[in-house]
Amino acid sequence: MLQVAAAKASKSTVTSGKGTVSTNVADYAKKDLQMAFANASVTTSVLLELIANRKTVLGAHHADHEKMGMTEGELQQAHAVLDAKRLMLVNRTVVRSLHDAVFPNVSETPATIKLRSILKTSEVTKILQGEKLTTASQSAEKAWLIPTVLMYGRLAYKFEGMTDMINGAFMEDLSELLNSATGDQRRRKSFYEIDTEFEK
Q: pLDDT tens digits for 73-124?
A: 999 999 988 988 888 888 889 888 888 888 887 788 887 888 888 888 888 8
Output 141 or 59, whichever has higher pLDDT. Answer: 59
Residues 1-12: tens digit of each pLDDT = 666 666 666 666
Place 62 in a pLDDT band, splitting at 50, 70 and 90: very high
One-letter amino acid at 200 equals K
| Helix, strand, coil percent content, the chain, rounded in steps of 5 | 70, 0, 30
Average pLDDT of span 35-50: 81
**How far from 84 is each of 17, 51, 63, 65, CA to CA, in Å?**
37, 12, 17, 19
Instruction: Look at residue 183 in the predicted model and tell me its pLDDT.
Output: 66
What local confidence, expressed as pLDDT, does residue 74 receive? 93
Classify burial at 192, counting beta carbons within 10 Å of its beta carbon; exposed 0-12, middle 13-18, buried 19 or more. Answer: exposed
Nearest to 180 by CA among 170, 194, 168, 199: 194
